[in-house]
Structure 1
Amino acid sequence: MVSSSYAAGVISQLEDAQDVGFSHVVFELYADDRTMQPHHWQVFETMGAAQEQRQALADKGGWSGHDDRHIYCWPIDRLLEELQTTHSLNNRQAMNLNNLEDIKKEVANLGFSQQSIDQLEPQMRTGTGYFNVREQLPGDNGLPVDLTLHLRKSNESEYYNLNKFEAVAGKIPPVVPGQQYMVISENKDNPERPLVKAFDSGYEAIEFFKKQKGNSELAIGESPEAKQNLASKEQGTVNYVNNDFKQAYFGSAVSQTFYVQKGVGFSAQQAANMVQGRTVHRDNMLNPNSGETYRAWINLDQGIPKDDHGNYKLKQMNDPNFGFDLDKTLNKFKIKELADPAQKAAIVQGIKNGDRIEVTVTGKDNKEQKVLLEAQPRYKTMDFYSGKGDKLKRELFQKAPSQNLDLGKDRGKSKDKGEDMGMSI
């Protein structure tokens, strides 16, 4: 296949030559990579004239005088077809590679792992119209949160778009390395060889199993031959659920679709925390009416039914208007790490992601202990948990109220000052 870095210009000139009656072209190619230079070709009105020129050039080593060149005589139509095909493929490859880099950057900015990023290229190179990339993040009590990126190719171009990802949290235990969830169904065409569908996600395996109409089995293991039965159906009716798996099977998972606009949206970690019932902070929420960004604490309102798209409504507490001051709230408690600026910054960032952060607190008995800290912006306070997830009384870790002997004397002035400040906001 003929190629040229100047293909667009050469194509245009050859088309012009055709328009005025030229039919054949003599050109020179590099022997090793079949690359054509823009000044190493010449057009002719007849094939005979073109062949004479080809022979003359071949005798003297072409335009360049080098023996690593080959001289050809082709109809212009043929060379145009070669150059147009190559030029189109090169443009498509460049477009896809640019698109790949853009998608990689978006996925990285959302906080997904390198493992997920590495899955993008082989999927995009297949040219499939739609594909998923799955990832798991650790959740509360050792139960994972499943994340699924949805990528779709545009109907108008070769570009892929990342518009959304889904997060699911529930009671499904993770698989150990080497194992997988599987649904084993009867094969009516060949009863000796049942149908086996494997799943990385326990949530998807359960949903698929629940839709089966005939005899089927939900299992976990390395293979159908080395499996543990979790549940089974006979003629579409569940007749067995493993006692240790009942909470996972009958419990309801919490799922939410998070939408992304040009790589901007809730991060993977924020999404995982939100489906576990926690609140996150964003400083780049977009007002669709004005186009301006604003800051807010946000969680999923699980107290009302989902919308028609299967999503919970986002409950937003604008910052600072709602009145939750994270820095002041943290300083109400005896948290050792707050004395170190770097550790404090890490705690603040983790809290804004919705994480439960391990900190060292001092209790009423003046003894230090490790606890988990979580923000409760709705109630303008913090919650504390043991390592096992048991909620602890926050009063145990509060600082004593500060004493100010001049408080009463200056109370009137303070009130006036507060009112003035309120009016100026």
Structure 2
Amino acid sequence: MESFPEIISVDDHTVEPAGVWQDRLPSKYHGTAPRVVRARLKEMTFVGGRFAPKMGGPGDGGPLADWWVYEDLHRPLTRLDTAVGYSRDEVRLEAITYEQMRPGSYSVPERLADMDLNHVQSALCFPTFPRFCGQTFTEAKDHDLGLLCLRAYNDWMVEEWCGPQARGRMIPLTLIPLWDAELAAAEVRRNADRGVRAVCFSEIPPNLGLPSIHTDFWDPFLRACDDTGTVVAMHIGSSSRMPSTSADAPPAVGSTITFANCCFSMVDWLMSGKFDRFPHLKVMYAEGQIGWIPYILERADVVWEDNRAWGGVADKVLRPPSELFAEHVYGCFFDDPHGLRNLDAIGVANVLYETDYPHSDSTWPKSKEVGQAQMGHLAQEDVERIVRGNAIDLLDLTPDGLWKGWSQG
């Protein structure tokens, strides 16, 4: 390998600063919009894929933590939200304050410095408090306020997180109101007008109590994405159910099989007929890794060829699923040597690189070294495409890998 190119990470995360909603919503909402309070942690569990924290009262003990409070939701910041800078053995399920996290988690200048340490040029960041596709606002009782909160987040993302101080190195990723596909389409178009080319979506909407992609419910949203070149970005856990095997399975079980939701979701999309109806639509799977993709494509083609007459797809899936994948689907990885050894069965053009900063799985500050070790057998031009070239094309970045709209943020 001649040299390892500067990374464009398509899956990092922002921990929202405490003032995102208090600063952007009228004062009449300050008591009801998301806000941060400091309180004690009474208890917290994460088993069977379910996260369950309980805030302590005045007389309770337990560690102090910063909590996001919104309607009935009390959600503490945790070490799993921001683990970089700690050894693996120090990363435990514990509640923390902003002072206990690496500042690059929430501060743009500090983030850019940490990206420099990690050979990262640009990064696309998923949310934390809103959750990976805005489930927090979807589950809210007051959807009118939820829509205001969602738009405020998008404005903060575009104008501050990805604004002039980021100098094009932060790539905006916005949210939609999942409860209304027409409103979702309008929000896609609003943000596309200011240069946004990626939007969060759920890997398995029915897990959120929403219609599946096999219905026509999502068509206005998908049409807006198709028209504007907006990529549908799905992160593991964006269906609010991490894969697990039982209610008492330890988190290590779910962590091993995190790719499973991506696998199920991709089959859904390939058998939905949406790619024939929306020919410019692109979807990507963040943090799902890629090693599982070859078998699923092989199996999907066999099912389509042998069983489409009775399988309910003969009239809407008009080409082999593997062909649809090649034109519409992108897998993202940060540590997957098996997938890279089988790259010919996936397609170099369909693979993106990520660092997952600041989560516990992150390869920071060794993402370059990890990539070099795993991609050493590949041609230099293939490494260039995986590490940055595919992201530049998919997200409509400048040839130098920067977001085009940063000066207008």
Judge same fold: TM > 0.5, yes or no: no
TM-score of the two chains, using structure 2 as the length reference: 0.24
Higher Rg of the two aligned structures: 1
- Bigger proportion of residues as helix: 2
Asked which structure has the greater RCO (Cα within 8 Å, sep 6+), the reply is 2
Which structure: greater strand fraction? 1
